[in-house]
Amino acid sequence: MAKAIKTAPRKASPKAAPEAKAAPVSISAPPPAPGSQPAMRILAQYVKDLSFENPNAPNSLGPQTKQPDINIAVNVNARNLGPADFEVELHIDAKATSEGKVIFASEVLYGGVFRMENFPENVLHAAVLIECPRMLFPFARQILADATRNGGFPPLLLDPIDFAGMYQKRMQQQPAGQA
């Protein structure tokens, strides 16, 4: 059973920009070695949580009189695992409703472990919260598409997400001095 959506999703078509949830993320790493180039490596990728609900099946699988409303919520979180290692989680909630009934609800929590070496402190936070989820997104998107297709619906194909825009919005929502 899917967990309740923690963000207040807005009504959107499947191709509309998703809504993000702001939460402070503390990220730190050792200073870069002089003359060295920044390097990012993906050490692991994994599904942390996956759920799909089709509560009105088989009725929801029949012909629909109109397009369902699809609400999408996206959240990115990160935490230090070691001096230069970070776990990044990409959380995508998708819910389709029609005439007040849930057609389907799906949740994907996709994670990755990244090694971020020689990043200057002033760009590390942005790199972890923009570039890391950008690398995870195609995999989480495919998992969501497969889950909706396997649930008896056309695959839900999300458009690319502007993680830089999400990051800027998140930083504007945080009190000054918090990163």
Tens digit of each residue's pLDDT, the chain (179 residues):
333 333 333 333 444 444 444 445 667 666 666 767 889 999 999 999 999 999 888 877 777 778 889 999 999 999 999 889 999 999 999 999 988 889 999 999 999 999 999 888 888 999 999 999 999 999 999 999 999 999 999 999 999 999 999 999 988 887 765 55
Q: Is 3 within the bounds of a domain?
A: no
Omega before residue 58 within 30° of 0, cis: yes
178 occurs within a structural domain: no
Residue numbers of the domain that contains 55: 10-23+37-171
Say how far apart CA 12 and CA 160 lie, in whole Å.
15
For 55, other C-beta atoms within 10 Å of its C-beta total 13
Model pLDDT, residue 42: 96
Return d(Cα 82, Cα 85) in angstroms, integer: 5
What pLDDT is attached to residue 31?
A: 65
Confidence (pLDDT) at 30: 63
Name every residue whose Cβ is closer than 8 Å to that of residue 75 and which is 6 or more positions away in sequence.
Answer: 6, 7, 20, 21, 23, 89, 90, 91
pLDDT recorded at residue 20: 47
pTM over 0.95: no
CATH number at residue 42: 3.10.420.10
pLDDT computed for residue 169 by the predictor: 92
* Predicted pLDDT of residue 92: 97
Tokens representing residue 41 in the block: 């490596």
Query: Does a structural domain hold residue 31?
Result: no
Render 34-80 in DSSP notation, one character per residue. Answer: TTPPPEEEEEEEEEEEEEEE-TTTTGGGS--SSPPEEEEEEEEEEEE
Q: Flag whether 2 is in a domain.
A: no
Any residues with CB less than 8 A from the CB of 116 and at least 6 apart, and which? 29, 38, 39, 40, 84, 85, 86, 124, 127, 128
Helix (H, G, I), strand (E, B) or coil at 103: strand
Please tell me the predicted confidence (pLDDT) of residue 14.
43
Residue 4 lies in a domain: no
Q: How many CB atoms lie within 10 A of CB 96?
A: 23
How many domains are contained in the chain?
1
Collapsing DSSP to helix, strand or coil, 85 comes out as strand
Residue 132 in contact with residue 110, Cβ under 8 Å?
no
Residue 30 domain-assigned (yes or no): no
Angle CA(122)–CA(175)–CA(179) in degrees, nearest 5? 25
164-176 as b/e, with b when 16 or more CB fall inside 10 Å?
eebbeebeeeeee
Q: Is residue 71 part of a domain?
A: yes
